[in-house]
Chains A and B, each alone.
Chain A
Amino acid sequence: MAMNHTAPTSERAHPTPARYTAIALILAVITVVEVAIVYTKFLQPVLIPLLLVLSATKFAMVAMFFMHLRFDNRLFSVMFVGGLLLALAVIIALMTLFGVFFA
Chain B
Amino acid sequence: MIHASSPAHPAPVETTTGLNNRKLLMWIFLGSDCMFFGSLIATYLLYRGKSLVGPYAHEVFNIPYTSISAFVLLMSSLTMVLALSAIHRGDMRGLKVWLLATALLGTVFVGGQYFEFTTFVNEGLTLKTNLFGTTLFVLTGFHGAHVTVGIIILLSFYLVAARGRLKPEQHLNIELAGLYWHFVDVVWIVIFTVVYLTETPNIVT
Direct contact of A and B (CB under 8 A): yes
> How many Å lie between the Cα of A17 and that of B87 in the bound state?
12
Task: Flag A52-81 by CB within 8 Å of B: 1 or 0 each.
Answer: 101100110011011100000101100111
A1-30 vs B, Cβ < 8 Å mask (1 yes, 0 no): 001111111000010110011011001100
Q: Within 8 Å of chain A (Cβ to Cβ): is B31?
A: yes
Q: Would you list the 7 A-B pairs with minimal beta carbon distance, nearest first?
A: A83-B31, A87-B38, A8-B18, A55-B193, A24-B78, A38-B200, A83-B34
B32 interface neighbour in A51, A73, A83, A100, Cβ under 8 Å: A83
The contact string, 1 if C-beta is below 8 Å from chain A, for chain B 10-48, is 000000111100011001101111110111011001101
Classify the interface of chain A: helix, strand, loop or mixed: helix
Report how far A91 CA is from B34 CA in the complex, Å. 11
| Chain B: CB-nearest residue to A94 | B42
**Residues of chain B lying within 8 A (CB to CB) of residue A98:** 46
Q: How far apart sit A80 and B24, CA to CA, in the bound complex (Å)? A: 10
Let me know if A28 and B16 touch, CB within 8 A.
no
Q: B186, A62: Cβ atoms under 8 Å?
A: yes
Min Cβ gap B17→A in Å is 6
Report if A95-B46 is in contact (Cβ < 8 Å); known contacts: A3-B17, A76-B24: yes
Residue of A at shortest CB range from B35? A87
Q: Is the CB of B185 within 8 A of A83?
A: no
* A84 near B34: Cβ-Cβ < 8 Å: yes
Q: Report which residue of B77, B82, B192 has the largest number of chain A beta carbons within 10 angstroms of its beta carbon.
A: B77
> Cβ of B189 and Cβ of A62 under 8 Å apart?
yes
A59 to B190 CA separation, bound complex (whole angstroms): 8
**A59, B186: Cβ atoms under 8 Å?**
yes
A interface residues with partner B (beta carbon < 8 Å): 3-9, 14, 16-17, 20-21, 23-24, 27-28, 31, 34-35, 38-39, 44, 47-48, 51-52, 54-55, 58-59, 62-63, 65-67, 73, 75-76, 79-84, 86-88, 90-91, 94-95, 98, 100
16 contacts between A and B (CB under 8 A): A8-B19, A24-B78, A28-B74, A28-B75, A35-B67, A38-B197, A51-B197, A55-B189, A55-B192, A66-B178, A79-B31, A80-B31, A87-B35, A87-B38, A91-B41, A94-B46
CA distance A39 to B63 in the complex (A): 10
**In the complex, which residues of chain A have a beta carbon less than 8 angstroms from the beta carbon of B28?**
79, 83
Contacts of B82 in A (CB 8 A): 17, 20
Say yes or no: is B85 at the interface (Cβ < 8 Å to chain A): yes
- Check if B204 is an interface residue, CB within 8 A of chain A: yes
